[in-house]
Chain A
Amino acid sequence: MNEKGHCNDMMGTLSDYIDGGLTPELCRALEDHLKDCKDCRVVVNTMKKTIELYQVESAKESIPPMVKERLYARMNLEDFRK
C-alpha cells in the first residue's frame, strides 16, 4: 500500500474488477495501478482465491437424505425422487 489513499480508492473497485463489471477506463486505471503495486495485486489474487475456495466447498454441498425424502413427500413428488 505505497500510496495509501490511492490504494483505498482502488479497493472500492476490486469486486467490480473481479466480476468484470468495471468500465474500460476504470479497468485500465486499476490494471495500471496493479502493475506497480504488489500489495494490491496480493489483495486481488487472494480475494479471487477466497471466492474460489468457497465455490469448491459449495459444490460439495448436499441435502441429508431424510430432508430430501420429507421434501418430496410434502410436495407429493415421491414418484419422481431420484
Chain B
Amino acid sequence: MDEPLTSDGFSLSKLKTGDKAEFARLVETYSIKIYHLALKMLNDEQDAEDILQETFIKASRAFKGFEGRSSLATWLYRIAVNEALMLMRKRKPDSVSTDIDIESEDGQMEPIQIVDWCCLPEQELLSDETRKVLKIAVDKLPKSLLTVFTLRDLNGLSIKAAAEALNLTETAVKTRLLRARLRLRSELSSYFLESENRRSTE
C-alpha cells in the first residue's frame, strides 16, 4: 500500500525516521525559495544563509511533532519567517514593529497612477533597467507587506497558508497583499510614465 504523502508530495514517515534521501529532496525543493525570502527580509547574504541553515536544522529536529495539518512548505516558511524576525530584532531592536505599523495606516488610499503600460513590448517590460526598478520597489516595501507578497505571489501559498505561515488572520493577509500589490504597481507605473515622457521629449 502506498503511504500517505503530505499535500506537497513528501513522505512524512520517511522524514520522521530520518530518511536522508527524502530530506535531501525537501531541501532541494525549498532551499531557493527560503533563501530568497530571508534575503528579501534581511537584505544580507550571510544572514539569509544562516536563516536557510537554521530553518532546515529546526525542521529536521521537529518532524516528529509535525502533524501534517498544513503543507510542509507552509511549515518551513513559518520557521524561516520566525527565524528571520528574531534575527531582525537582534540586529535592530527598534526597527521591527512587525504588525502595528501597517494596521495604523488603514484607510489611507495609495495615490493611484493611471498609466496603461501593461501592453508594452516584452523587451521593455523585462529590460535590465526595469528589473532594477522591480528590485528597488520591492526593497522599499515595509517588511510586513513584503513577506505577504513574497509568500503569496512569489512562493505560491494560498491566502490561508500565508496566514498560517505568518500567524495572521486571512483578512490581515488580504489587506497587506492588496497594499503591497498597489504599491508595487504604483512604483512601476511611475517608472513607465517617466520613461514614456523621456522618449517623447527625445
Partners in one complex: yes
Looking at B20-28, B75-83, B92-100, the stretch in contact with chain A turns out to be: B20-28
Q: Which of B101-119 contact A (CB under 8 A)?
A: 109, 112, 114-118
Q: Which residue of A lies closest to B173 (CB)?
A: A15
Q: Which residue of A lies closest to B156 (CB)?
A: A55
Q: Whole-angstrom distance between the alpha carbons of A62 and B31 in the complex?
A: 9
Please pick, from B60, B115, B134, the residue contacting A53 in the complex, using a CB distance under 8 A: B134
Q: Is B114 a contact of A58 with CB atoms below 8 Å? A: no
Is B178 an interface position by the 8 A CB rule?
Answer: yes
Q: Which residue of A lies closest to B24 (CB)?
A: A80
Q: Is B36 a contact of A61 with CB atoms below 8 Å? A: yes
Q: Is A47 a contact of B174 with CB atoms below 8 Å? A: no
Q: Inside 8 A of B87's CB, which chain A residues have their CB? A: none
Q: Is B56 a contact of A62 with CB atoms below 8 Å? A: no
Q: Which of A2-59 contact B (CB under 8 A)?
A: 8, 11-12, 14-16, 18-19, 21, 39, 42-43, 45-51, 53-58
Knowing A1-B112, A8-B109, A70-B53 are in contact, say whether A77-B188 is a contact too (CB < 8 A): no
- The size of the chain A interface, using a CB distance under 8 A, is 43
Q: Is B131 a contact of A57 with CB atoms below 8 Å? A: yes
Please pick, from B45, B60, B159, the residue contacting A75 in the complex, using a CB distance under 8 A: B60
The B contact surface, by secondary structure, is helix
- The size of the chain B interface, using a CB distance under 8 A, is 43
Q: Is B116 a contact of A54 with CB atoms below 8 Å? A: no
Q: Is B35 a contact of A54 with CB atoms below 8 Å? A: no
Q: Is B20 a contact of A77 with CB atoms below 8 Å? A: yes
Q: Inside 8 A of B12's CB, which chain A residues have their CB? A: none
Q: Inside 8 A of B27's CB, which chain A residues have their CB? A: 71-72, 75, 77
Q: Is B185 a contact of A43 with CB atoms below 8 Å? A: yes
Taking Cβ atoms with an 8 Å cutoff, the residues of A that contact B are 1, 8, 11-12, 14-16, 18-19, 21, 39, 42-43, 45-51, 53-58, 61-64, 67-68, 70-72, 74-77, 79-82
Taking Cβ atoms with an 8 Å cutoff, the residues of B that contact A are 20-21, 23-24, 27-28, 31-32, 35-36, 45, 49, 52-53, 56-57, 60, 109, 112, 114-118, 125-126, 130-131, 134, 138, 149, 153-154, 159, 174, 177-178, 181-182, 184-185, 188-189
